[in-house]
Amino acid sequence: MSTKRNVYLDMKSIEDALGILLQAFPAGTLGVERVPADQAVGRILSEAVCAGMSSPSYHAAAMDGIAVAAEATFGAGETRPVTLTLGIDAYPVNTGHVMPENTNSVIMIEHVCDHGNGTVSIETPAFPFQHVRKMGEDIVATELLFPHGHRVTPYCVGALISGGVFSVPVHKKPSVLIIPTGSELVDYKDFDLSTVPPGKTLDANSYVLARLAESCGARAERHPVLEDDKGLIADTLGRMACDARYDMILIVGGSSAGSEDYARAAILESGNVRVHGVTMMPGKPLLFGDVNGKPVFGIPGYPVSAIMAFEQFVSPLIHQLLGVPVIERQNLDVITTRNITSKLGLTEFVRVKIGKVGERMVATPLSGGAGTITSLTEADGIVKIPSHVEGIKSQATVRAELLKPLPLIENTVVIVGSHDNSLDVLADQIRGSEQHGCISLSSSHVGSLGGLMALKKGFCHLAGSHLLDETDGSYNVSYIRKHLPDKKVKVVNLVLRDQGLIVPKGNPKNIKGIEDLSRTGLRFINRQKGSGTRILLDFKLKELGIDDKRIDGYNLDEYTHMSVAAAVLSGAADTGLGIFAAARALDLDFIPVVTEQYDLVIDEAFYHSRNIQILCETINSQAFRKRVEALGGYSTARTGSLIL
């Protein structure tokens, strides 16, 4: 195995790298084609399009009734009705009919008295072109319909066909070939979940990139996965770059500095590398060059890095080749709920959850690095931290690029605090409601104390909490009085839940309880400081007289019960304290420790608002309780009850 590594010391800023890219591959290099008007939606016109005929192409009746010469009706009134003879000075017409010769007005059928003898009478005079669509009223032959560079919409199809334009000249779609690389990758179409071999990873990146390319107006084709073989990748790239079917190639994976990252070498085999390394995070290892005159990208393998690299570079290039600007997302001023760290010299794209709390739009950064795709799927927006800025302080006002529609974000109930699986059920139950589906829940997992602090600062509508008072065994109330002395709140019970030790199937280490955590050779995974689970653990350790320094892994923590369960499932830990529902979800064994109370602490200022009342109604519904109990390890005996 080769141990030679790529080193990208001459990294470019986003602006400089994008300038190099767009200058190297100018617009108008792909040619044009004609497509039928009815198949042109989404395509970009390569030249102006003018009408070939007028619409309507004749004077047309706009109502059902009789067509007349308006002059023949002048003087008509209730006491002086005008009588007209059908076929001579009055002609029955329906909407859309050609106006008979020497007529210029239509009288609605409701205003016509038919005598049954071939004559009709009217009591109101008509005026010229009353209820008549004039020839060319909508479109006049030779007039400009759409300019060069216009993107055809479904509405445009109607105008094109009505104007006698049945095919249009458009820029050819860039054809993008996506080549996933990596010996660990497999195509999901070749396996089901039970047969994916250990050590193999399902290739999702190439499918995401293909759909992103199509959303920009390109065609996309996915190549089968290539193993990490320098010769194979270089040979495939060389052949595909000479294939007239493709205008652009994306090599996914292998752009970083690893000994088996071959994208750079493959490009250099038959072309040029123009940039390797961009001062952005995620996405730093991005590279691009040209082979056979075609742009070739080395896209980083981490999912978020791949998407960021595409959006910052591939998307602008596709748009330039099509001759249209990139459509900018909506931007919004938000207030940060906590400090956000960043590195000097790198432009960082921080994924955030956003919600409207009172009159403020607040943004909470999501945890997870470049390999965490859910940090994008769960995000409402992205905060871009410039390379010259070293972090952003809590309660700073910054600009966020929205990933979701603003009305949806404004209609979000913001929950901060302890994690519980029932919150996901609650969110789904509300979104699935026919009456309340426009409301969404956004939950950030920072621990119970973190939730109370967020509530105190006005960063959320409510906090999830399960803080045990060691003195009397009660939950949450004493902590609320201590940390929120001046904040009026309502406390609603969500669930009672079983908390205990999550262990692998069959409990191979024969763990019986908290007292075993200090055993030699036992690896523990903890929850973060300030979480109710951590406070419970410390209370139990104190009861048993166990020093936390004797526990291997006490200082290693996760932010959710599911993350603890995943650590046990993967073998990274032998056990961790969490809820039964998390253990059951991953088919792990569970050793009960305590049944605890999980409450929602609601800012009283929002308690009577429509959204919070809908949330409370949903909590009290039988449908919600039934779904929660089906998770296992929950009791809904007190669900919905007002604790405080």
The CATH number of the domain holding residue 297 is 3.40.980.10
- Say whether pLDDT at 5 is over 60: no
Q: Express each pLDDT in 341-392 by its tens digit.
A: 888 899 999 999 999 999 999 998 887 676 678 888 889 999 999 999 988 9
Nearest to 588 by CA among 504, 497, 508: 504
Describe the crossing of helices 421-431 and 622-631 by its angle, rounded to 10 degrees: 140
Cα–Cα distance for residue pair 131/67, rounded to 1 Å: 9
Which H or E run includes 569?
helix 561-570
The token pair that represents 40 in the structure block:
């042109």
Q: For the segment 531-576, what is each residue's pLDDT rounded down to a tens digit?
A: 889 999 999 999 999 999 999 999 999 988 999 999 999 999 999 9
Kindly state the helix (H) or strand (E) to which residue 238 belongs, with its residue range. helix 230-241
> Do 294 and 213 share a structural domain?
yes
**Angle formed by the axes of helices 263-270 and 230-241, nearest 10°:** 50
pTM: 0.83
Q: What is the DSSP letter of 513?
A: S
Do 44 and 193 share a domain, yes or no? no
Are 150 and 244 part of one and the same domain? no
The answer to whether residue 587 sits within a structural domain is yes
The strand pair at 144-146 and 49-50 is best described as antiparallel
For residue 36, the Cα-to-chain-centroid distance in whole angstroms is: 32
The alpha helices in 283-323, defined as continuous H runs, are 303-309, 315-322
311 lies in a domain? yes
Over 70: is that where the pLDDT of 6 sits? Answer: no
Name which residue leads in pLDDT, 25 or 9. 25
Among 109-123, 362-376, 456-470, the range scoring the smallest mean pLDDT is 362-376
Q: What pLDDT does 3 receive?
A: 44
Question: What pLDDT, on the 0 to 100 scale, is given for residue 58?
Answer: 92
Domain CATH number, residue 113: 2.170.190.11
pLDDT above 50 for 459: yes
Average pLDDT over every residue of 223-248: 95
Which residues span the domain enclosing 158?
A: 32-55+138-171
* 92, 189: one domain: no
Percent of the chain with pLDDT over 90: 81
| Residues 250 and 305 reside in one and the same domain | yes
What is residue 434's predicted lDDT score, i.e. its pLDDT? 67
Q: Among 322, 341, 365, where does a domain finish? A: 322
Residue 444 within any structural domain of the chain: no
642 has a pLDDT exceeding 90:
yes
Check whether residue 599 and residue 618 sit in a common domain.
yes
User: How many helices and strands in the chain, by DSSP H and E?
Assistant: 18, 35
Does residue 312 sit in the same domain as residue 244?
yes
Averaged pLDDT for residues 10-34:
91
In the prediction, which pLDDT does 2 show? 44
Looking at the fold, whether 249 and 264 belong to one and the same domain comes out as yes
What's the pLDDT score for residue 192? 80
**Same domain, yes or no: 287 and 362:** no
For the cut 80, the answer to whether the pLDDT of residue 194 exceeds it is no
pLDDT tens digits along 299-352 = 999 999 999 999 999 999 999 999 888 989 999 999 998 888 888 899 999 999
User: What is each CA distance from 2 to 229, 234, 258, 260, 262, in whole angstroms?
Assistant: 10, 16, 10, 7, 11
* Residue 343 domain-assigned (yes or no): yes
Sort 93 into a burial class: Cβ within 10 Å, 0-12 / 13-18 / 19+: buried
Three-state secondary-structure class, residue 274: strand
For residue 41, give the CATH number of its domain: 3.90.105.10
Up-side HSE of residue 523: CA atoms within 13 Å toward CB? 13
| Mean pLDDT within 195-210 | 90
User: Does 503 reside within a domain?
Assistant: yes
Q: Is the pLDDT of residue 636 over 60?
A: yes
Contact 379, 372 (CB under 8 A): no
Q: For the chain, how big is the Rg over CA atoms in Å?
A: 34
Q: Are residues 623 and 477 in the same domain?
A: yes
pLDDT at 372: 78
* Mean pLDDT along residues 636-640: 96
Q: Is the pLDDT of residue 635 over 60?
A: yes
Is residue 641 included in any domain, yes or no? no
Domain annotation covers residue 442 = no
Lowest average pLDDT, out of 67-76, 232-241, 424-433, goes to 424-433
User: Is the per-residue pLDDT at 260 higher than 90?
Assistant: no
> Looking at residue 9, what is its pLDDT?
55
**In this structure, are strands 60-61 and 132-133 parallel, antiparallel, or unpaired?**
antiparallel
| Enclosing H/E stretch for 399 | strand 397-402
Q: How far apart are CA 644 and CA 642, in angstroms?
A: 6
Show which of 280, 305, 322 is a domain's final residue. Answer: 322
pLDDT tens across 392-446, in order? 998 999 999 999 999 989 999 999 999 898 999 999 999 877 677 688 888 888 8
216 — pLDDT class (breaks 50, 70, 90): very high
Q: How many domains does the chain have?
A: 5
Residue 192 makes CB contacts below 8 A (sequence gap 6+) with none
Last residue within a domain, chosen from 171, 192, 219: 171
* CATH number for 501: 3.40.190.10
Distance of CA 221 to the CA centre of its chain: 23
Within 10 A of 578 (CB to CB), how many other CB atoms are there? 29
Q: Which of 65, 74, 57 is nearest to 140 (CA)?
A: 57
Instruction: Name the phi and psi angles at 142, rounded to 5.
Output: 80, -10
141-165: pLDDT as tens digits: 999 999 998 999 999 999 999 999 9
How far does CA 115 lie from the centroid of its chain?
A: 66
For residue 512, give the amino acid letter.
Answer: K
Residue 476 belongs to a domain: yes
Please report the pLDDT score of residue 1 as a whole number. Answer: 39
CATH number for the domain that contains residue 373: 2.40.340.10
- Return d(Cα 44, Cα 318) in angstroms, integer: 12
The stretch 266-294 carries a mean pLDDT of: 94
- CA distances to 81, 109, 233, 316, 398 from 126, rounded to whole Å, are 12, 13, 79, 58, 63
pLDDT reported for residue 378: 87
Average per-residue pLDDT for the chain: 92
In this prediction, residue 307 carries a pLDDT of 95
Counting beta carbons within 10 angstroms of the beta carbon of residue 303, is it exposed (0 to 12), middle (13 to 18) or buried (19 or more)? buried
Average pLDDT over residues 252-272: 82
pLDDT at 8: 56
Q: Kindly state whether residues 49 and 106 are assigned to the same domain.
A: no
302 shares a domain with 188: yes
